[in-house]
Structure 1
Amino acid sequence: MNLTPALTEVLRGGRAEFNRRFAVGLQRYNGIDPAAFSELLTGPVDHIVGAVAKVDNGAVPALADALFDLSLALLGQRWIGTGGRAPAVLAGWELIADKAPGLLAQQPQSLLTAIANALVHWSSFGGGEYWLRTLATLAPRARSVDELLRAGQVAAWRHGLAHYRDSALERARQLDPELLALALTVPPADWKDEMLTRMARNRWYRPDKPPQAAPRVMLRVGAFVGYGGRFAEPPLVGSIDGELLLHSAGQRYSLHADVFGANVQAHSDGKLAPAHELPPGWRIEGSVLLSPEKRFPFAEHGAITSSAVTIDTLVLTHAWSHGATVVALL
């Protein structure tokens, strides 16, 4: 293997221990390909170590330790490597090494683990390509690992992980205005503190777009299990203690939606009484939703089967569709 001197020195000095760890990994994870692990060491791991060694050679031993163990575990669990379910993990590690080697030198284990966990999570939501692009902007500007991770969660919310909304808003309040603006893909020169207040009050407000009139159909959420979704049959919408839920085939799912995206998360087993709620003055006629000002036809999805409303959101389900429709009321 042709490795950078920094990684070569660490592997040579700890050869017996690294060999022991690899043997344990072979026992723990069936089917680890030694050649695939070798490719990780000579490729991404070597690149990351080389980038950090340029700014802090003293951090290399701890970094190499973390990379060795995490790479072995992720390869064994089939997250990375050929056919891996979260190949972007390696790109995320290399991005941090290139853009913020000093931060990686400070806390290699925690930062590598956080990036890996984030991209494993993103593997269920499209892979995280746009999140990584924003992270590349944030990383060189963050003053600490904690600040980068806070900004990273805000960026994850911005790029569609609506279930992070509440925690991301809390972290947003702790960020420097420039870093916050960048996490939300707003030009820093255009950022105003009042924007965050408006975002907290109105889930359909976007600081980087002109305002749009409500009511309006915002998005569809959910899909058939055969197409990567969670629903075995068309869902129905209801609520428990004010929380919007979708029900399909005996399973309940919490619904998370705002201007940046929507998704469903497993909630609990059991039935859910379908709701038939509408804002005052609205009505349903078959597959058509009618407000006092607008008409929303959904003929391609079949008759509207249930509807639930909150102060700012209306959710509809349909007879022929495994997705629900989300309507912004603000």
Structure 2
Amino acid sequence: MVIRYLSRPSRRAPVLRATALTTGALVCLAGPAVGAEPAPPKPAPAYSSSLLDRSGTQVRPRPDAPPVPRGLSALSWMVSDARTGEVLAAHNAHRRLPPASTLKSLFALTALPRLHPDTRHTVTDTELARVGGGSSLVGLSAGRSYQVSDLWRGVFLSSGNDAVHVLASMNGGWERTVRQMRAKARALGARDTHVVSPDGYDAPGQVSSAYDLSVFGRAGLADPQFARYCSTARASFPDGNWSYPIQNTNRLLTGADGVAPYRGLIGVKNGYTSGAGHTLIAAAHRGARTVLVTVMNPRRGGMTVYEEARSLLDWGFA
């Protein structure tokens, strides 16, 4: 993947680039056939030194651009053009932090191509036994049959760790899925990410970065299945002979909990754990532009992650 840095520098300024080269452009990566085992990825060379490697806020805006929002409390964030990969601004882009459920974006990139959406699967007690305490759940029941497409809605809307455990089992098991996710991250040039628990549950050594989450978000939006799931605000979830409503936990998409919905929002994934704080990958489309922002661990807590993402989206479009 090539991410270009930054937005239209002045004629006097050199063009600065942060490259994490892989086997091809991110938007052109093709997933393996359903059920197929992908070829081992080629190692991605380390990205070149640039402003993105530096700590603090890095930006080189056009002369007519507004200033970057002030007072942001997130430990790390990044704003980019989802179509071109151009980075508009970043703050501690490569700082390694716990990702919480935003890591489910990498899980989906890894497992979606391997599991046919129409396949039905009966959940077992063993698959649910390892779901961590306090996890977000969609409400799967052992002994009940679900379509893979329903399980993915449980992942994207309810951020259900129970659905992740079942899909990982169908994908060949928890440890195999961890290895696949690590390989997928390397193939995409996401060198800050280390996967321990595919559902994003806090685990020693599990980290990602605002840069890597942007890579996962951009890759996901290029996949029609991923894009459809992550932009779904509400759905019905089956439970035997009846169903119940589920709602996307991304408040910028639904307008829940007093957060005003963001015009043009198309996903991608939010997360929260006690260790990671609040994390968010958010993308919105207006006119010919799709702006992607990642926000990791605002220090003010609560719904701050959505308001800081809103400020960064507004700035990106401006």
Q: TM-score when scaled to structure 2?
A: 0.23
More helix by share: 1
Higher relative contact order (CA 8 A, sep 6+): 2
Larger Rg: 1
| Alignment TM-score, normalising by the size of structure 1 | 0.23
